[in-house]
Structure 1
Amino acid sequence: MYKCCIFDLDGTLVNSIKAISYTTNLTLKKYGLGSIDEDQYKIFVGDGYKKLVERALIYCGDKTLIHYEDALVTYMEYFKVHYMYEVKAYDGIKDMLHYLKKNNIKIAVLSNKPHERTIDNVRGIFGIEYFDKIYGEKDDVKRKPDPEGAIITAKELGILTEHCLYIGDTDTDMKTGIGAGMDTIGVTWGFRNREELESYNPKYVIDNPNEIIDIINDHRSKIDNSICI
């Protein structure tokens, strides 16, 4: 029976692409580079801000990453100010979270966004009542797609990994959940398409947050029926 849902943040719970693109384009502007459109950023995101800045610089012509170290500092300075810029929960997310909480499903966030900004984003959009654990990128935990963060999160919640769903919108998330031994859900409303998600063979690919509720209920029914038999 599924007892826990671990969610990616950007592109899964919240649409933050405007904040990401705005902050990164401000960073590029400092060096006379950019700007880059939002659709391109949907490809760049998923592996943490350091990789995002690297990809953006190379895309704009800084092939040898002359500005890289300074750009990381600049990005973080801008992001502290603009991390909530037009960030919104996707339709149906809050209702889905409310259902999970009401039905005693543990709920966590595991993001490659810097840890403090992850907490700020989650609390700024959802408040404090839903999530049992919130983790962003931290120096002492390997960044996704390494499954370490997902495994640690499950352990801290007292849930076996086989009783967890991992939910995300990118190849990074598919690798993370599968690597952690969790049934993994790819969501199509985020930053990548169905074809890319399916290529990594997650357990499920869904188009609407309500399908998470259906998956949990169907799984529970199958277990109950097997017990009865």
Structure 2
Amino acid sequence: MIKAVIFDLDGTLLNTLNALSFCISKTMKHFGLKEIDIEHTRYFVGEGAKKFVDRALIYNGDTDLKLANEAYKVYDEIFAVDCLKDVKPYEGITKLLDSLKAMGIKSVVLSNKSQLGVEKNINEIFGAGVFDLIYGERAGIPKKPDPTSLNMIIEELGLSKPEILYVGDTATDMQTALRAGVTSIGVLWGFRDEEELRENKADYIINNPSEILEIIKER
């Protein structure tokens, strides 16, 4: 029986592409570099803010990342102000969360975004108390696809791995679930495509949030 669903944030719960593209583009413009469009943003994100900035700088020709340390600071300042620009839940997500709560199933967020960034996104868009746990990037804990944070969540919930579903939209998410030994659900409304999810051994691939409820009933 499933007792908790753990969600990735960007591309799974929230459509944050416009905000991410805006923030990284504004950062690049600060250094006189070209903006990062939506399609490049889609593939540059997923492994934390520093990796996102690094990829944008390399795309702009700074292959030695000479601007990296300053760019991290600039991005953090911009993101703190503009991280919610045009951000909204994907269609069906709010209804899904309501259904999970009514069923007594815990909802958790696990993201490579900073802890403060995750909390700001979640609390501003969904409100406080909707999720049982919120895990963002934390000092001393490796980021996904390392399974450490996912295993920490499972331990904190006091559940076993067969009682968990992990939901995400990227290879990073599928690898995280695989390494932790939990069932993975890849979503097609997010940042990446079906091929990437299949190549990274998603247990389920879905088109609509309501399909998660069907999977729960099956198990």
Report the CA distance between 1:129 and its aligned residue.
3.0
Question: In 2, distance between residues paired with 1:142 and 1:107?
Answer: 22
Q: Determine what percentage of the aligned residue pairs are the same residue.
A: 46
1:7-55 C-alpha deviation (Å, 9 max, x unpaired): 0000000000111110001110111111121011100110000000000
Q: Which residue of 1 aligns with 2:22?
A: 22
Secondary structure of 2:145's match?
A: coil
TM-score, normalised by the number of residues in structure 2: 0.98
Question: In 1, distance between residues paired with 2:81 and 2:127?
Answer: 19
Question: In 2, distance between residues paired with 1:141 and 1:102?
Answer: 32
Summarize the alignment of residues 44-59 of structure 1 with structure 2, pairs less than 5 Å apart: 44-59=44-59
Question: In 1, distance between residues paired with 2:89 and 2:54?
Answer: 27
* Counterpart check, 1:156 vs 2:156: yes
Summarize the alignment of residues 76-87 of structure 1 with structure 2, pairs less than 5 Å apart: 76-87=76-87
* Counterpart check, 1:11 vs 2:14: no
Q: Which runs of 5+ in 2 are unaligned?
A: none
Summarize the alignment of residues 62-81 of structure 1 with structure 2, pairs less than 5 Å apart: 62-81=62-81
AA paired with 1:83? C
Question: In 2, distance between residues paired with 1:159 and 1:126?
Answer: 25
Question: In 2, distance between residues paired with 1:127 and 1:141?
Answer: 26
Report the CA distance between 1:140 and its aligned residue.
2.6
Q: Which residue of 2 aligns with 1:208?
A: 208
Question: In 1, distance between residues paired with 2:65 and 2:142?
Answer: 24
Question: In 1, distance between residues paired with 2:49 and 2:17?
Answer: 13
* Counterpart check, 1:144 vs 2:144: yes
Q: Which runs of 5+ in 1 are unaligned?
A: 220-229
Question: How large is the RMSD of aligned CA atoms in angstroms?
Answer: 0.7
Question: In 2, distance between residues paired with 1:12 and 1:208?
Answer: 11
Q: Does 9-18 or 121-130 show the bigger shift? A: 121-130
Q: Which residue of 1 aligns with 2:133?
A: 133
Secondary structure of 1:122's match?
A: helix
TM-score, normalised by the number of residues in structure 1: 0.94
Q: Which residue of 1 aligns with 2:185?
A: 185
Report the CA distance between 1:142 and its aligned residue.
1.3
Question: In 2, distance between residues paired with 1:140 and 1:211?
Answer: 35
Report the CA distance between 1:128 and its aligned residue.
1.7
AA paired with 2:20? I
Question: In 2, distance between residues paired with 1:5 and 1:45?
Answer: 23
Report the CA distance between 1:66 and its aligned residue.
1.1
Question: In 2, distance between residues paired with 1:162 and 1:143?
Answer: 23
Q: Which residue of 1 aligns with 2:109?
A: 109
1:33-88 C-alpha deviation (Å, 9 max, x unpaired): 11121011100110000000000000011111110000000000000000101000
Question: In 2, distance between residues paired with 1:102 and 1:177?
Answer: 25
Mark the structure with the bigger radius of gyration: 1
Secondary structure of 1:9's match?
A: coil
AA paired with 1:22? F
Secondary structure of 2:5's match?
A: strand
Structure 1's consecutive aligned runs of 4 or more residues displaced over 2 angstroms after TM superposition are none
